[in-house]
Structure 1
Amino acid sequence: MVARKFVVQHNDSLFDVDYDTEDGFEVLKFQLFSLTSIPPDEQKIFGGENLLVKDDSDLNSVTDKLRLVSTDEVHDNAFAQSDDKLRLLSIEVDEGSSGTVAKDDNAFAQSDEELARMLQAEEEALFFQQFRASEDRGQFEQRIRPYVSQVLMYEDPVRQAAARKTVPVDELEEKAVVSLAKEGNFKPSKIEQDHVFLLQLLFWFKQTFRWVNAPSCDGCGSETINCGMGAPLPSEIQFGGSRVELYRCNNCLRITRFPRYNDPLKIVETRRGRCGEWANCFTLYCRAFGYESRLILDFTDHLWTECFSNLLGRWMHLDPCEGVYDKPLLYEKGWNKKLNYVVAIAKDGVHDVTKRYTRKWHEVLSRRNITTEPVVSAVLSDITKDCRKGFTPQLLAVLEDRDRSEVDELERGLPSQNDGSISLPGRQSGAKEWRIARSELGSNENNSLSCSECPIRICVDEHVTSILNAFCSLLSQFVENDIPKSKIVDILEMVKRGLLDLKKASFRSRSGSISLESITLKFVQQIIPPLDVLLAALSLKSEKLEKCERVNFCLAGDPVKTSIALPVALDALDIVIDNLRNSDNFGKGSLSLPLLKPNRISSGLVLASGEELPFGIVTSAFDGIHTSKWEEPNGAKGGWIIYKVKDNQMLDLEVYELMSANDAPERDPMNWVVEGSDDGGSSWYVLDKQTSQMFEKRFQRKTFKIHSVGRLSNAFRFRFLAVRDVQATSRLQIGSIDLFARIS
C-alpha cells in the first residue's frame, strides 16, 4: 500500500486528496467527482508538461500536483482555441517526477498516424482489388435479390397480426416503463417508451425462441444425429421449406425432418431454428409493432436485424440470437469474425453497412473479392431504385436524405477508437463444437458483455425503504395487540396471495383484494391502519370493507410506481414470513434487525469496479428484488462498490446486509472490508472487516453490525477481496446490499 496526498487544481480551486494507490485509478476519479461533481467518464487529469494521467499510469510515481478538467471544457476549448489548446490545460510540476504517463499531444499524433496508415492501407486494398475481383455483378446480385422479396413478407398485415398475437404486450410494456423508472424516468416520452419496448421485445424473443442444433426425435423425444438432406414435401414448400435436414434418432432410429422455413408466418408457429429463422422472424415482429426495420445479411454466414431508433436518431443493431443490441462490433471484436460484406435489406432499398460493423476497414477491403467496389455500389443502387418505384417525390426526398446521413455516420465512425472498457463476448448461440468449427468463440474469457469503466448510477430505491418501513409498522402493530405468531403468519400469507393476484393483472388498471374471512373482527380493526401504510408504499389505496371480510384496493396514482414496488413487497413478505416461522419467540424483543429493517439508506449514487450488461449492473444490488444481482465479471480477486449518500447527508451506519445471489456459490464474496468517508470519498476509514464468510444457500441474507458508534459518513465503500472459490471463477456476484443508518 502506498498512501499519496495529491493537490488537485480545478479552475480556481485547489483540493487536497488522500489516496491509496492500490485502490485503482477509478477510485481517484470518484474522489474527484465527490469534490467537483465532474463524472469520472468526463475527467481528464494532467500532470506536468501536457502529461495525461491514464488508467495504466504508475500512480506511485506521478507528481503530487495535478490539474483536473472536464471533457466539456476540453470540447469548449477545442472550438475556441488553436492547435496549442491542450497546453492551456497543463500545470507546472516538480522536476524529476517520473511515471508511466502519456502526452496528450502525442496521443493525438499517434491517432493521426494511425488514421494515415489506415487510409494508405485502404488505398492499397482498393488497388489490389481490381486485380483479384471480377467486374461481373451477377454473383453479388444473386446473393441479395432473394432477400428483397423476403423482406416484403414483413409488410403483410396477416403475418403481422399473427406475430402480434403471440406477444404478451402488456407484460413487455410494463417491463419497458419499469426499466425507465429504475433510471429515475417516471414520465418517459413516447419515443423513449418505443425504444425500451423494442429492447424488451428483443429480450422476450431471445427467451421464448428455441435454437436448434439437432431436433429431438418426433417419436420418443431422444437426441438425434444428422443423416443428410431430404426432398421437401408440398406442405413444407408452401412455407419456403425447400431445404429439409434429416436426423436419425439415437434411440428408436426414427427419422425426424427439420425443414428450414423461409416464411416468417410458419416460423412464428414453430418458434425454432437457427440464425436465419431467428433474424427472419424477429424482423417480422419489429415490423408488426411499427418499427422501421431491415434484415442484415452478413456474407460470412450470419443474419440479424436493424431498427431505426428515433431516440438515437440512427439505425440500431439488434441480434435476436444473442439478445444483444447496439453493439455492432460484437462480430469483429467479440466473435473474431473476418467480415467482408454486410448488407441491410428493407422494403425501400438495400445498403452496404459493413463500415458500421468494423474498425478495420482496410482489412475488410482486402477480403471483398466477389466484385469491385464500383460494381457493389451500382448493384445496390439499382436494387434500391427498383424498390422505390412508385414512391412519391416527398417520400423519396426523405429517404435520400436519410441515406446521405447514414453514409456520413458510417464514414465518421471508422476512425473512432474501440471502447476498451466494453468487453464483447464470443458467440453464445449454437453448440460449442459448432462455434469452435466456425472460429466464433472469441477471446473474451468471461464470455459476457460487460463494462470495466462503469458510469455513476442513481439508486432509484426509495420505494424499497418505504416498503420495509411499512412492514416495521405492521409487525409492531401485531406485537402491540398481542396477536399470536401463527395468526400473523396467516395474515401475511393472505396479504401475499392478494398481491400475487394483483401482480397478474394488467398494470395500468390494477385492482384487487385481501381476504380476511378467517380473522376475527377485533383483529381486522387492528391491522387495517398498518395495512393501509403498506398499500400506500405500493401506490395503492384501500376501499370500503365488505362486511369486514375483504379489503379491496386499487391504484392510487402512477401505475409504474406500483409495478416497480410489487416485486419488492412480495420478496419482503417471503423474508418476513420465513423469519417468523424460524423464530422461537416473537415479541417486543424481536422488533429489530433482521426481522425489522428500519431506516434503510436509499437514493444514493453508486459506482462499481465493473458490471455485467445489461442485467448485472451495480444498482441491481440495491433494488430490493431477489432475482436481480450485481455481477462483476473480473471481481473474483478484487472488486469494489462506492456508495455516496444522497445530498451528502452524514449518517451513522449501524448495520448492513448482504444477500447471496441466485446461483454459482463460487462467486459469493468471502473476504471484504467496509469503509466510510466523511468527506465524500477523499479519505476513508475502516468500519468493518470480514473474512472466510460462507453463504450456505442461495438468497441467504447475512447481517453485519458496525461496532463503532457515532462515526458519521456521507460515503461508503465495499472492497471485496476474494470470492468463495477464486480457482473456479473470475466473477463476483451479490444478490443485494442494504445499508441501515442508526436512528438518532
Structure 2
Amino acid sequence: MDFTDHVWTECFSTFLGRWMHLDPCDGIYDRPLLYETGWKKDLNYIIAIAKDGVYDVTKRYTRNWCEVLSRRNITPEPALSTLLSSITRDCRKNLASEVVSALEERDRNEAEAVERDLYSKDDASISLPGRQSGDKQWCISRSEYGSDKNRSWSSSGPMRKCIDGHVTKIYNAFGPVVSQLVKQSSSKSRAVEVLEIFKNILVDLKKSPFRTRRVSIKSLSNGAQYVVNQMLPSFGQLLDALSLKMESDTNGRIDICLASDPVKTSIALPVLFHALDNVIHNVNQCDNFNKHSLSWPLLKLNRFCSGLVLASGEELPFGIATSAFDGTRMSKWEEPNGARGCWIIYKVFENQMHELVAYELMSANDASERDPMEWVVEGSDDGGSTWRVLDKQTCQMFTKRFQRKTFEIQSQGVLSNAFRLRFLAVRDKQATSRFQIGSIDLFARSQGNQMMNSLTNEAYEETEEAMRKMDEA
C-alpha cells in the first residue's frame, strides 16, 4: 500500500529467497523501481500488510532515500518503527516459538538485503515505462504517465516471457495415449469413452483438497477400472506433465496423487481439461481412427514454448499478450485499438532457429465481432529486423466461441527465430475498435522427418516399455 494512492502485491519467492514486487494492474513483476523511475511518483510511505506482520518496505522501492525521507512527515521515524513492530508482535502472538524465530530471521535477512540494494547502481538496460493501466488523462493528472509524453497509448507494451512449458508438455503427452488407443484397434466411440473416463478421474482429483490431491482407481466401476488398468501406462507422460504420479499398495490399489508442488498441478489442470476436450473433438472428426490418424491436427507436437512476446497493444491486467499462449480458455489477448490492424511478435526461446510448419488460433469467449478475419504470418531469421511472409489468410470466420482453426505452412525449409502475426481486420470493425484472440499455438517441424510423424513408433515403444515394466512389477 502506497500512501500516494496505489496498491500492489509482493510475493515471497522461495527460489529467490526474498520478497518480489508484483503489480497485477500493469502486469509487471520484480521491478520495484517502476513507480519512482517509470511512473515518476514522489514516494513517501509504502506499507506491506501480511498475515504475520506489517512492514515498512519503502526502501525497497527507491534509490533516493534522502528525498523520500524529506517527504515522510506524518510521524517521527522511531515512532513509526515502534508502532509497526508492535502490530507485528500482535500478529504473531499465537504462533509457535520456532515459527516466530524463523520469521524474525527472515526479517533480519530482508532488512540487510534492502539496505544493500538501497545504494546499488541501477541497471541502465532496464527501461521502466510510465503507468500503463487507466485512462491517459487520468494518469497524467496523477503525474504517473512517466517521461515519455510522446508515446502512443496503444503502442507496444513490455516484452513478456511466456511461462507455458507445461502447455507443450501436455500437448506432447497425448501422443502415447492416442497411439495406444490406435494400437488396441479402438473405435472412435471406444477412444472417446476412454478419454472421458480419464477426464472424470481428474475432475474428481481436482475436487480433492489442494495440498493433498488424490484419487483412487478403485472408486471407479469395474468396467472403468479394467479400461484404466489397460491404458494407465500410456498416461504416465501426461500425469508427469500435470505433476502427478501413480502409487500402488500391496493390495493392488492404485492412486493418482501429487508428485510435487501442488501449485504446478493447479496451473496445469485447466490446460489439460481444455486440451482433452479438443482431442476428443478431433477423434470424433477422424474419418477412420487408425495409425494414419497419428498426425496433425490430432497430434500437436513440437509446440513452441518459453519464448518472448511483444504486441502492438494489450488490455491490462487480464488481456495481456502472453494470455494468447497460456493454453486455457479462461484468458485472451485483447488489443483495445486492434480492430483495424494490430500485431504480435513471438521470439523463439534462446534465439533458436526453427521451421514453422503449422499454427492454430482459437476464438475467445465472447464478442465475435472482435475475432480476426484477415491476417499475415511472417518469419524472421535475424530476430525481427527483416520479415518473410509464410502464410496469408482472408475471409476467415469463427462460427463458435472457443473454436480452433488450424493452418499448415506451405513454404518449406524457412528457418526463423522470430514470428509475427499481423492481424489486418476483425469480423466487424464497424461494431468495435477492439481485437481479441483466445489462443495462439505455433508448431515447429520435428527433426529429420515430416511434421510429427516420428511420434508413432516412439509412442508405441514408450507404451510397450511401460506395459512391460508394469507386468514385471
CA separation of 1:730/1:393 partners in 2, compared to 1, >3 Å: closer, same or farther?
closer
Name the TM-score, length of structure 2 as normaliser: 0.66
Say yes or no: does 1:682 pair with 2:385. yes
- Counterpart in 1 of 2:322? 619
8 Å Cα contact 1:186/1:560 also seen in 2: no
Specify the code of the residue in structure 2 equivalent to 1:557. Answer: S
CA separation of 1:454/1:715 partners in 2, compared to 1, >3 Å: closer, same or farther?
same
Specify the code of the residue in structure 2 equivalent to 1:694. Answer: M
- Counterpart in 2 of 1:660? 363
CA distance in 2, matches of 1:623, 1:615: 12
CA distance in 2, matches of 1:582, 1:397: 63
CA distance in 2, matches of 1:520, 1:397: 58
8 Å Cα contact 2:24/2:317 also seen in 1: no
Distance apart, 1:287 and its partner CA: 6.6
CA distance in 2, matches of 1:684, 1:713: 9
Specify the code of the residue in structure 1 equivalent to 2:235. Answer: L
CA root-mean-square deviation: 3.8
Say yes or no: does 1:636 pair with 2:339. yes
CA distance in 2, matches of 1:704, 1:694: 14
CA separation of 1:291/1:500 partners in 2, compared to 1, >3 Å: closer, same or farther?
farther
CA separation of 1:542/1:739 partners in 2, compared to 1, >3 Å: closer, same or farther?
same
Q: Secondary structure at the match of 1:478?
A: helix
8 Å Cα contact 1:600/1:738 also seen in 2: yes
Q: Secondary structure at the match of 1:679?
A: coil
Specify the code of the residue in structure 1 equivalent to 2:233. Answer: P
Distance apart, 1:644 and its partner CA: 1.0
Say yes or no: does 1:481 pair with 2:184. yes
Match of 1:693 among 388, 396, 399: 396
Q: Secondary structure at the match of 1:656?
A: strand
- Counterpart in 2 of 1:538? 242
CA distance in 1, matches of 2:369, 2:337: 13
Say yes or no: does 1:419 pair with 2:130. yes
Say yes or no: does 1:191 pair with 2:19. yes
1:254-291 CA-partner distances (Å, limit 9, x unpaired) = xxxxxxxxxxxxxxxxxxxxxxxxxxxxxxxx978467
Give unpaired runs (5+ residues) of structure 1: 1-175, 201-285, 293-306, 315-352, 357-376, 400-416, 428-449
Map 1:526-565 onto structure 2 (within 5 A): 526-544=230-248, 551-565=254-268
CA distance in 2, matches of 1:393, 1:695: 59
1:578-606 CA-partner distances (Å, limit 9, x unpaired) = 22334443222222222211111111111
Distance apart, 1:716 and its partner CA: 0.6
- Counterpart in 1 of 2:297? 594
Specify the code of the residue in structure 1 equivalent to 2:130. Answer: D
Say yes or no: does 1:579 pair with 2:282. yes
1:651-682 CA-partner distances (Å, limit 9, x unpaired) = 11111000000011011111110001122212
8 Å Cα contact 1:699/1:735 also seen in 2: yes
CA distance in 2, matches of 1:531, 1:603: 24
1:659-708 CA-partner distances (Å, limit 9, x unpaired) = 00001101111111000112221211100001111100100000011001
Q: Which has the higher contact order (CA 8 A, sep 6+)?
A: 2
CA separation of 1:719/1:528 partners in 2, compared to 1, >3 Å: closer, same or farther?
same
Match of 1:395 among 82, 87, 99: 82
8 Å Cα contact 1:516/1:524 also seen in 2: no
8 Å Cα contact 2:359/2:440 also seen in 1: yes
- Counterpart in 2 of 1:606? 309
CA distance in 2, matches of 1:646, 1:552: 36
CA distance in 2, matches of 1:397, 1:526: 61
8 Å Cα contact 1:459/1:606 also seen in 2: yes
1:331-390 CA-partner distances (Å, limit 9, x unpaired) = xxxxxxxxxxxxxxxxxxxxxx9xx9xxxxxxxxxxxxxxxxxxxx9xx96xx69xx9xx
8 Å Cα contact 1:421/1:453 also seen in 2: no
CA separation of 1:311/1:499 partners in 2, compared to 1, >3 Å: closer, same or farther?
farther
CA distance in 2, matches of 1:537, 1:633: 34
8 Å Cα contact 2:133/2:317 also seen in 1: no
Distance apart, 1:510 and its partner CA: 2.1
- Counterpart in 2 of 1:568? 271
CA distance in 2, matches of 1:494, 1:647: 39
8 Å Cα contact 1:606/1:618 also seen in 2: yes
Q: Secondary structure at the match of 1:494?
A: helix
CA separation of 1:676/1:397 partners in 2, compared to 1, >3 Å: closer, same or farther?
closer
8 Å Cα contact 2:373/2:426 also seen in 1: yes
CA distance in 1, matches of 2:332, 2:302: 22
Say yes or no: does 1:732 pair with 2:435. yes
Name the TM-score, length of structure 1 as normaliser: 0.43
8 Å Cα contact 2:156/2:310 also seen in 1: no
Match of 1:453 among 152, 156, 164: 156
Distance apart, 1:723 and its partner CA: 0.8
CA distance in 2, matches of 1:484, 1:545: 33
CA separation of 1:192/1:497 partners in 2, compared to 1, >3 Å: closer, same or farther?
farther
Distance apart, 1:565 and its partner CA: 1.0
Specify the code of the residue in structure 2 equivalent to 1:517. Answer: S
CA distance in 2, matches of 1:291, 1:609: 41
CA distance in 2, matches of 1:479, 1:645: 33
1:378-423 CA-partner distances (Å, limit 9, x unpaired) = xx96xx69xx9xx979627999xxxxxxxxxxxxxxxxx9937655
1:422-479 CA-partner distances (Å, limit 9, x unpaired) = 552799xxxxxxxxxxxxxxxxxxxxxx863311111111111110111121001110
Q: Secondary structure at the match of 2:305?
A: coil
Distance apart, 1:199 and its partner CA: 12
- Counterpart in 1 of 2:167? 464
8 Å Cα contact 1:451/1:612 also seen in 2: no
8 Å Cα contact 1:643/1:715 also seen in 2: yes
Q: Secondary structure at the match of 2:240?
A: helix
CA distance in 2, matches of 1:547, 1:521: 15
Distance apart, 1:569 and its partner CA: 0.6
Map 1:355-366 onto structure 2 (within 5 A): none
CA separation of 1:499/1:197 partners in 2, compared to 1, >3 Å: closer, same or farther?
farther
Map 1:230-245 onto structure 2 (within 5 A): none
CA separation of 1:187/1:393 partners in 2, compared to 1, >3 Å: closer, same or farther?
closer
CA distance in 1, matches of 2:162, 2:50: 35
CA distance in 1, matches of 2:346, 2:157: 13
8 Å Cα contact 2:26/2:133 also seen in 1: no
8 Å Cα contact 2:25/2:317 also seen in 1: no
1:76-135 CA-partner distances (Å, limit 9, x unpaired) = xxxxxxxxxxxxxxxxxxxxxxxxxxxxxxxxxxxxxxxxxxxxxxxxxxxxxxxxxxxx
8 Å Cα contact 1:477/1:526 also seen in 2: no
CA separation of 1:551/1:724 partners in 2, compared to 1, >3 Å: closer, same or farther?
farther
CA distance in 2, matches of 1:495, 1:538: 13
- Counterpart in 1 of 2:422? 719
Specify the code of the residue in structure 1 equivalent to 2:246. Answer: S
Q: Secondary structure at the match of 1:676?
A: strand
8 Å Cα contact 1:192/1:311 also seen in 2: no
1:518-552 CA-partner distances (Å, limit 9, x unpaired) = 5478744541211111101111110117977x741
Identity within the alignment, %: 56
Specify the code of the residue in structure 2 equivalent to 1:617. Answer: I
CA separation of 1:726/1:544 partners in 2, compared to 1, >3 Å: closer, same or farther?
same
